[in-house]
Structure 1
Amino acid sequence: MNKAISKDGTAIAFDRIGEGPALILVDGALCYRASGPNGPLAEMLKDRFAVYTYDRRGRGDSDERKPYSIEREVEDLEALVNAAGGSAFLYGISSGAALVIEAARRLPSIRKVALYEAPYIVDGSRIPVKGDYAARLEAHVSADRRAAAVKLFMKEGVGLPAFVVATMPLMPAWRKLKAVAHTLPYDTALTVACQRGDPLPAEPFASVTIPALVGVGGKSPAWMRAGMKALADALPNAKLHMLDGQTHIVQPGALAPVLAEFFYNEERG
């Protein structure tokens, strides 16, 4: 394990495997190096890239300094890019994709980005999040009601049926989810403005002019497919790629070749 120091002094824990162009993998909500999809994905990409996985602030082995802001999370990524040699490719999944977009807006050291299923709700194909959703989530976190925060996020943020959410405490991973529940407002800050059921605004997307790959699962719900088509349309230099048979829980074996082709082959060209 290594640590990069962000501008506000927060130590961000990361691992690096492989050799080649630097590729940083950015987790979504409730995930970190020891619990999430990016570790197995890194193993499949290490033959072509120097792959960086890290714990977003407040998770795993990374520190946390308050108050939280999106700018500080971008600075965390900037510290990682500097540790990787000064430039990098970025891949983000779910709310991590939204963070990657924010980083691409601000950091000229980002060369290309790949985005998988940012949770944007852009039409009426699912119920949008309520106007007080972020405030209610923050209230649970402030009162250390971690279980309630996770359940609210899963029901209203993710859109899982109530009966599925009710059974989640029986899952082996429930303790890990609660351990990082205090970071859910950070993910919400990154996504909630694009979860109202309205078309995507011109900004922040129009200013991300570097090459972008927008991925979506062929078995993902209609609202997610609509959101990713809208995202690909909003980014000036993006292409949409549907992964047949995949859902939001995308299999590393299906995703890795797509990322390798986008980053590595275009790098050689």
Structure 2
Amino acid sequence: MRVTSADGTTIEYTVRGDGSPVVLVGGGLDDGRENEPLATFLADAFTVYNYARRGRAGSGDTAPYAVDREIDDLAGAGAGDDDVASARGSPAWPGLLTLAPTLAHDAALYGPPPADRLAAVRQPTLVITGETTGFFADAAAAVADLLPDATVRTFDGAGHVPPPDLIGPALRDFLGPAVLRPPGPMRRPGSGT
């Protein structure tokens, strides 16, 4: 499937499954194919959106590069009419709508999030790593130490991109109840409130 992002760039994506939405965002070198096996695995329990980030595979690109454009691409690929209707029916929608115009500006002001901001994350977080990748395993442990509600899963024999049949069940188990949890209190990072 293809969608046109806010700046006119064509973004290619796939949608499979039926259930609560899950968006797979590949790394900088991924053209969307790396996550296809995981998308297929999760599709029996979720609606999985997997897209080719701009400048990769069937997605176009528009210079200059900006993080805001990647966010627009996600919005275009993941916001089908049914998903938008469901989100608008949520009790949290009015508050989120009020904050929405400030998010891109706030993100630009904050810049890359420093590690100490992880302590302000109130959502349960699953940190997955493979034990054969020392750097990533160390980074995962450091992140988990800072998150107040982190669950760490280390997979023996797995590297940077563990196979879906290995990590898929862990994601399915974690996301099942996670999508039903109400969000924690909203806090501004670094403000303590």
Is 1:60 the counterpart of 2:57? The answer is: yes
* Equivalent-residue separation in structure 1 for 2:73 and 2:146 (angstroms): 26
- Give 1:3-22 correspondences, 5 Å limit: 3-22=2-21
1:239 to 139, 146, 151: 151
Q: How many angstroms does 1:254 deviate by?
A: 0.2
SS of residue paired to 2:123: coil
Q: Please tell me whether residue 261 in structure 1 is matched to residue 167 in structure 2.
A: no
Cα–Cα, structure 1 residues 260 and 60, in superposed 2: closer, same or farther, change >3 Å? same
> TM-score with structure 2 length normalisation?
0.70
State the Cα RMSD in Å: 2.6
Are the structure 2 counterparts of residues 202 and 266 from structure 1 closer, same or farther at C-alpha, using a change threshold of 3 Å?
closer
The aligned amino acid for 2:83 is: G
Identity of aligned residues (%): 34
> What is the CA distance between 1:51 and its match in structure 2?
1.0
Unaligned 5+ runs, structure 1: 89-105, 108-192, 195-199
Q: Distance in 2 between matches of 1:8 and 1:209?
A: 33
Query: Does residue 230 of the first structure (1) align with residue 142 of the second (2)?
Result: yes
- What SS does the corresponding residue of 2:116 show, helix, strand or coil? coil
Instruction: Trace 1:119-134 onto structure 2 (pairs within 5 A).
Output: none
Distance 2:76 2:127 in 1: 25
Q: How many residues align?
A: 157
Hey, what does 2:78 align to over in structure 1?
81
Q: TM-score under structure 1 normalisation? A: 0.52
- The secondary structure found in structure 2 opposite 1:19 is coil
Match of 2:128 in 1: 215
Distance 1:234 1:73 in 2: 27
